[in-house]
């Protein structure tokens, strides 16, 4: 199985076990070996997120902090010509395994995939690429909250995603 961008390839299965009892009285037990494995994998993603940010800034993107209470280098928002990239590069702590990831949206609003290596041309191409069948170049429409969909996939994806109550 190929690891998807911005995923550590490990996941959280087996990270926690619980003693018997209800959710208020049971104790959680952390698998420290798996915890360290995840922390190490996330260090690589954090470094890639920061390198991506630096390459984008060098290519003309504007960067600002996402939150007032957190440093820009750990939670940032990049903008250029209507494109928006939200990034996290949070180191591990005693309570968290760390996070290195980027999410993006095109000037028209729907999601665009963001690779682990900065590529401005790929981001521009993504606006004309279906997020479900990868057809390109095509006109895309929004499906669900921020899905990007071609006309051929739209009826199926709307039926699958926009089910009763999907927006509440």
Q: Taking the model in full, what pTM does it have?
A: 0.89
Measured CA distances, 106 to 55, 61, 89, 146 (Å): 18, 14, 21, 10
Say what the pLDDT of residue 24 is. 85
CA angle 70-76-77, nearest 5°? 135
For the chain, 168 residues long, give each residue's pLDDT as a single digit of tens: 456 789 999 988 999 998 888 878 888 899 999 999 999 999 999 999 999 999 999 999 999 999 999 999 999 999 999 999 999 999 999 999 999 999 999 999 999 999 999 999 999 999 999 999 999 999 999 999 999 999 999 999 999 999 988 887
DSSP secondary structure of 94-130: SS---EEEEEEE-TTSSEE---SS--HHHHHHHTTS-
Say what the pLDDT of residue 112 is. 97
Give dist(CA 122, CA 145) in Å, integer: 22
Q: Dihedrals φ, ψ of 142, to 5°?
A: -75, 140
Say what the pLDDT of residue 1 is. 42
Residue 116: partners with Cβ closer than 8 Å, 6 or more residues away: 5, 6, 45, 48, 52
């Amino acid at each position: 199985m190929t690891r998807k961008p911005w995923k550590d390839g490990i996941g959280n299965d087996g990270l926690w076990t619980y003693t018997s009892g209800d959710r208020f009285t049971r104790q959680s037990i952390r698998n420290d070996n798996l915890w360290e494995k995840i922390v190490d994998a996330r260090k690589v993603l954090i470094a890639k997120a920061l390198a991506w940010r630096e390459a984008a800034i060098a290519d003309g993107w504007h960067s600002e902090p996402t939150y007032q209470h957190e440093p820009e280098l750990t939670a940032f928002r990049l903008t250029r010509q209507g494109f928006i990239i939200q990034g996290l590069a949070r180191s591990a702590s005693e309570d968290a395994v760390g996070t290195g990831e980027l999410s993006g949206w095109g000037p028209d609003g729907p999601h665009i995939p963001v690779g682990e290596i900065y590529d401005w041309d790929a981001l521009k191409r993504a606006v004309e690429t279906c997020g479900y069948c990868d057809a390109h170049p095509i006109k895309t429409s929004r499906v669900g909250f921020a899905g990007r969909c071609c006309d051929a996939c739209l009826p199926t994806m709307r039926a699958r995603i926009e089910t009763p109550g999907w927006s509440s």
